Amino acid sequence: MNILSQATAFGGMQGVFSHTSETCKCDMTFAVFVPPQATKEPCPVLWYLSGLTCTHANVMEKGEYRRMAAELGLIIICPDTSPRGNDVPDELTNWQMGKGAGFYLDATEKPWAENYQMYSYITEELPAFVSQHFRMDMSRQGIFGHSMGGHGAMTIALKNPDRFKSCSAFAPIVEPSTADWSVPAFEKYLGSDRAAWRQYDACSLVSDGARFPEFLIDQGKADGFLENGLRPWRFEEAVKDTDIKLTLRMHERYDHSYYFISTFMDDHLRWHAERLA
């Protein structure tokens, strides 16, 4: 593990690290905040998945999570959103595809399949790697994210209910297989057979029988992507006749930015801490 930076914050440590990923076949960067409690005992782990165009740095610099994470004793891990490097395929003029837009899936189509294995990276390689280097309680894991990262968090939780004890999202893409800004990426990553897309679509996963105890979703009503990309009411409809509990909070005047995320970050951290206790 390469240490790119470390700084003390609220009695804990905020670090940025990199390693060579066998899954994505490139160097991957991630951030970890370790609370002061970790010097005495293993702490629960909360994964944060960022949205389109982002890296680990967006939430680390603008998410305002460290004070509350230190108070609650939560380790926060912030992976990158895609593979990186000069040899990694990309679409330079398309912010919804390629670098910064991995959609937390395992691509099956060329040229993307060689590197874009983000689902396996997030669920297998990175957890195994960080558990070797930090004092964390891997029996207490939660996951949350924003937009594309909210999509990733929800689908990963639905597919791994025995691993994660909590899941929440800020303005998630709940049905990417029908959303304007994700359908083209899904077709390029996964091919034209839409049946293969269902495993990376929260609404489809619920329809196909996947279950997770409960979700917390916060959504701004002034979000410019609300009507065509996010549509949280689709997930509300999907879980209506199931035993999945959904708390969907719609907020007047809030948009898609980190001003919105940072406003409700403490709520999400407390919510996860209760379920990871």
Q: Kindly report, residue by residue over 263-275, the tens digit of the pLDDT.
A: 999 999 999 999 9
Domain extent for 261: 2-268
Number of domains in the chain: 1
Q: What is the pTM of this model?
A: 0.98
Respond yes or no: is residue 87 known to be catalytic: no
Is 275 part of any domain?
no
Is 273 part of any domain?
no
**How far apart, in whole angstroms, are the C-alpha atoms of residue 195 and residue 48?**
28
Where on the phi/psi map is residue 172: left (φ > 0), alpha (ψ -120 to 50), or beta? beta
Is 97 part of any domain?
yes
DSSP-derived pairing of the beta strands 43-49 and 2-9: unpaired
DSSP string, 159-202: H-TTTEEEEEEES--S-TTT-TTTHHHHHHHH-S-GGGGGGG-H
Q: What is the pLDDT of residue 32?
A: 98
Q: What is the pLDDT of residue 232?
A: 98
Dig out the tokens for 139 from the structure. 């029996």
- Quickly state the pLDDT bin for 255 (edges 50, 70, 90): very high
Is 191 part of any domain?
yes
Is 277 part of any domain?
no
Is 274 part of any domain?
no
Of 38, 63, 66, 35, nearest in space to 49 by CA: 63
**How far apart, in whole angstroms, are the C-alpha atoms of residue 269 and residue 102?**
25
Q: Which residue is it, tokens 């040229």?
A: 111
Respond yes or no: is residue 137 known to be catalytic: no
Respond yes or no: is residue 256 known to be catalytic: yes
Is 174 part of any domain?
yes
Of 147, 166, 177, 182, the active-site residue reads 147
Backbone φ, ψ for residue 146 (5° rounding): -125, 130
- Quickly state the pLDDT bin for 169 (edges 50, 70, 90): very high
- Tens-digit pLDDT profile for residues 173-217: 999 999 998 999 999 999 999 999 999 999 999 999 999 999 999
- Quickly state the pLDDT bin for 57 (edges 50, 70, 90): very high
Is 276 part of any domain?
no
Of 175, 171, 244, 250, nearest in space to 211 by CA: 244
- Quickly state the pLDDT bin for 15 (edges 50, 70, 90): very high
Q: What is the pLDDT of residue 123?
A: 98
Of 106, 201, 218, 223, the active-site residue reads 223
Of 56, 146, 151, 256, the active-site residue reads 256
Of 104, 62, 112, nearest in space to 79 by CA: 104
Instruction: Look up the CATH number of the domain holding residue 212.
Output: 3.40.50.1820
